[in-house]
Amino acid sequence: MSGLLEGRSALVTGGSRGLGRAICEVFLREGAQVSFIWRRSTEGAALTEALGATSYQADVLDSERIREVVEAIEANQGPLDLLVNNAGIGQVVPLALMEEEDWDRMMDTHVKGAFLVTRQAIRPMIRNKRGHILNMSSLAGVKMMNAPVHYAAAKAALKGMTEALAKEVGRYNIQVNCLAPGILEGGVSVNLPKKKLAQYLDHCALGRVGTMAEVAEVAAMLVSSRNSYMSGSTIVLDGAV
């Protein structure tokens, strides 16, 4: 532990598994008080709680529940000054076979969810003139690649949201950045056909997929005081694909 986030109060959405849990773990190690939102996985939430994080069951699309969560965090761990918008879903389906509901669910979870949580969480940040928001995008949202169209569109929207919001709230000493990982071990790679994974690795200079822990370490640095001037940026973490 280096105390990188000592004294900071963080909220991570989608923290019951995968990348969200890894981010919670690193933030806790670095001294932050961490709360996370989860929707369905009671077992997964318990595992993240066991690390020392506080859990709140909520749907990121339920604006009233999100308000309650942010108010509870402020009451229990002080002013909220770090937000990681990580909640998301995946679905592999070609556009020609995609239902309207598929598109709406993907955009709602990634984009509207980030909007609703950010809208609530940013209010105490503005009051306190301090904060950092990190939106979790994807390589599929910043680079042309073989990925589901609705997923790529949703992740690209987070990049645009990051840039516009950074301009809007910079005067309040709030930084907004975006992290775009490539394929990660234990992530979507488990559902990729071997041929597609091999093609990805052929183009990756480091010759391997990344890990959740590696992304979480970069996330911690990005929201720390060591990153005092970067805002509105999208950082690609893909091993040089």
- Give me the CATH number covering residue 158: 3.40.50.720
Question: Quick check: is 22 in a domain?
Answer: yes
Question: Could you tell me the pTM of the whole model?
Answer: 0.95
Q: Is residue 171 part of a domain?
A: yes
Reading across the β-sheet that carries 33-38, which strands appear in turn?
54-57, 33-38, 9-13, 82-85, 131-136, 174-181, 234-237
Residue 178 within a domain? yes
Give a yes or no: residue 113 inside a domain: yes
Give yes or no for residue 189 having a pLDDT over 70: no
**Considering the domain boundaries, does residue 4 fall inside one?**
no
Q: Which among 177, 51, 43, 44 is positioned nearest to 35, based on CA atoms?
A: 51
State how many domains the chain has. Answer: 1
For the segment 63-108, what is each residue's pLDDT rounded down to a tens digit?
999 999 999 999 999 999 999 999 999 999 999 999 999 999 999 9
Which letter, b or e, does each residue of 87-119 get, where b requires 16 or more Cβ atoms within 10 Å of its Cβ? bbeeeeeeeeeeeeeebebbbbbbbbbbbbbbe
pLDDT at position 187: 72
| CA distances for 146 relative to 13, 31, 86, 150, 205, angstroms | 27, 39, 22, 12, 18
Any domain includes 182: yes
- Does residue 230 carry a pLDDT above 90? yes
| Residue 1: per-residue pLDDT | 58
What's the pLDDT at 5?
97
Whether 229 is catalytic: no
- pLDDT, tens only, 48-68: 999 999 999 999 999 999 999
Q: Is residue 219 part of a domain?
A: yes
Q: Is residue 15 predicted with pLDDT exceeding 90?
A: yes
- pLDDT, the chain, mean: 95
Catalytic residue among 151, 172, 200, 229: 151
CA dihedral 177, 107, 204, 96 (to 10 degrees): -160
Domain-embedded: residue 1: no
Q: Which pLDDT belongs to residue 49?
A: 98
- What residues make up the domain containing 106? 9-237
